Chain A
Amino acid sequence: AQTVTQSQPEMSVQEAETVTLSCTYDTSESDYYLFWYKQPPSRQMILVIRQEAYKQQNATENRFSVNFQKAAKSFSLKISDSQLGDAAMYFCAYDSGANSKLTFGKGITLSVRP
């Protein structure tokens, strides 16, 4: 079974600085998808970024980018120019593909200091 590990329960960053959130996963498959979702205090689950395992290029979405290391099974999220609105819980998730279920990590709470 696939597992997703987020070992840091909490992180803090100064506004305008850069922060990296870590995630590792375990799978025996070669093709899959990885996601970062954001859950603000409103509890809504918001997609931040998606990475397809067969693509070597790291995904980017504005201030959000990933460092995808397939051999190491590592998938970290970098947030640049952190803003107060980035404060939330962030979940790393794995999807084996073909519209299957998401397996989530335990999440990390990010706080942003003004």
Chain B
Amino acid sequence: DSGVTQTPKHLITATGQRVTLRCSPRSGDLSVYWYQQSLDQGLQFLIQYYNGEERAKGNILERFSAQQFPDLHSELNLSSLELGDSALYFCASSSRSENIQYFGAGTRLSVL
């Protein structure tokens, strides 16, 4: 168990809908990262938050947004969903001192 919790494990929705993925980092970790894993794009970095502030942005679509709350949990919001958004979405967290990212079990999103 990595200590990073992601909910839900699975999400099935329709095109055009909006979903929210939730991540609770390991106790004490201030950094949260979101990654998308798909068959055609592989594992891609989406966005990073550090102590509530956006720190880095990767290949994140404008339809996607994220935030990190004062209790350090993070949410990834995906809207106007398309078939191509079907993927496994991972959250990871790290501490400033260790520089190792620990991954949650992922949320599998299926857009039908």
Secondary structure call for the B interface: strand
Chain B interface size range? 20 to 34
Residues on the B chain within 8 Å of A44, using CB: 2, 103, 105-106
Is A45 part of the binding interface, using a Cβ–Cβ cutoff of 8 Å? yes
A100 touches B56 (CB 8 A): yes
Residues on the A chain within 8 Å of B105, using CB: 42-44
A101 touches B88 (CB 8 A): no
Residues on the A chain within 8 Å of B24, using CB: none
Cα A111 to Cα B92 with chains together (Å)? 26
List the 8 closest pairs (A to B, CB-CB), nearest first. A45-B103, A104-B43, A101-B45, A106-B42, A99-B31, A44-B105, A99-B94, A43-B106
Query: Which chain B residues have a beta carbon within 8 Å of chain A's beta carbons?
Result: 2, 31, 33, 35, 42-45, 48, 50, 56, 58, 88, 90, 92, 94, 96, 99-103, 105-106, 108
